[in-house]
Structure formats: C-alpha cells, structure tokens
Amino acid sequence: MIKSSWKATVLIIVAVCLFAIGCHNDVGAGPQAPNFTLYDLNGQKVSLEEYKGSPVLLDFWATWCPPCRMSIPELIKIQEQYRDKGLVVLGLSLDDPSLVPDAYMKAFKEEFKINYRILRANERVMRDYFGYENAAIPTMFLVDRKGRIVGKIVGFQPHSLKKSLAQLLKE
C-alpha cells in the first residue's frame, strides 16, 4: 500500500511539473512562428529567420482559389503602404508544382502585379502552421518583430487585415 501511494505521489509531482513547464508563456506573447526555408520563384532560398526584427505577414494561398485572388490587390497595397515601416509580405503558394510550374507562377505574379515574394509551401510548413487539420485558404498569419504569431485571419476579410496590421506595426 505504501509503495503504490508513493508511486502515485511521484507521478502527480511529475505531472504537475510537466504541466507547469508546458504552460509557461510570457503575458501577451503568442507562440513562436515556426521557422522555414523555402524557395521563391527564382530558386532563391528564403527563411523566416532572416526577417526577424521585421513584422511579417504570411499569406497561405493558391492561384486556383477565388478568395485568394480577391485578396491580392489588398496585399499589394499593404506591401506598398507599410514597406517603409519594415513590413514584409510573403505569399506561400499551395499550388502543386507538378500542375502549376514556376513559369506559370511567374506569369501570374506579373499579370496581377504582385510586389511581394512568392514562395512554394511544402508539407512540413503546412503541418507546422496548420497541424493535421485541413487548411482553409486564404489564411494569413501575422508575425511580430520577435518572431511570434500574434494574429491569424482565415478567409477573405478585407478590413480586418488593416486593423490587425495597425496593432502589429505599433510595436
């Protein structure tokens, strides 16, 4: 009887310690944005880490997605308007490279006059940002200067993005 209560006590202490360690978070801080290294349409490596110190907007999208296409003009304006404040917009394309080659993506970028970098997302990035759930697109993640996710916008929501950015850029 004493051995089993001792084991139970040890298990409870270990569980409480693990819970306390796992729940530690700075007040108001979001989770750290998972780093990635992906390729842009010119074959250049791009990592999220290289933008630490700048606010970053990650736009998960695809060329075949009508709401994604509708959000492009707003993202272009946002990139122009906030570039001098350090904002970096990165479009993470979910298009299958075997169906939508880089040449098509480059022509698409030119046709829509996209002024921000487009990267090819991969399965690891999708899992890091969305877990194992099906991702709705467009989805935008706002990452602060310290590399923390401070906002997530799902779907085409034209005015909520500007409100979220105003808060992000105040830091």
Q: Is residue 163 part of a domain?
A: yes
Q: Is residue 21 part of a domain?
A: no
**pTM > 0.75: yes or no:** yes
Please, what is the average pLDDT of the chain?
A: 84
CB 25 within 8 A of CB 97: no
Flag the least confident range among 19-28, 48-57, 154-163.
19-28
The count of domains in the chain is: 1
- 118 pLDDT band, cuts 50/70/90, is very high
Per-residue CA distances from 23 to 16, 19, 35, 148 (Å) = 11, 6, 21, 16
pLDDT for res 26? 37
Q: Is residue 166 part of a domain?
A: yes
CATH code, domain with 79: 3.40.30.10
pLDDT for res 5? 52
pLDDT for res 165? 81
Q: Is residue 153 part of a domain?
A: yes
SS (H, E, C) 107-158: HHHHHCCCCCEEEECCHHHHHHHHCCCCCCCCEEEEECCCCEEEEEEECCCH
Which residue range(s) make up the domain with 40?
A: 30-170
Q: Which residue has the tokens 């993202």?
A: 75
Q: Is residue 22 part of a domain?
A: no
Q: Is the pLDDT of residue 16 over 70?
A: no
Q: Is residue 10 part of a domain?
A: no
pLDDT for res 60? 97
What residues have CB less than 8 Å from 48, skipping those under 6 apart?
A: 33, 34, 35, 36, 56, 58, 90, 143, 147
Phi-psi region of 125 (alpha: psi -120 to 50; beta: other; left: phi over 0): alpha
Q: Is residue 117 part of a domain?
A: yes
Render pLDDT for 130-156 as a digit per residue (tens, 0 to 9). 998 888 999 999 999 999 999 999 998
- Average pLDDT value for residue range 110-115: 97
In whole angstroms, give the CA distance from residue 102 to residue 166: 33
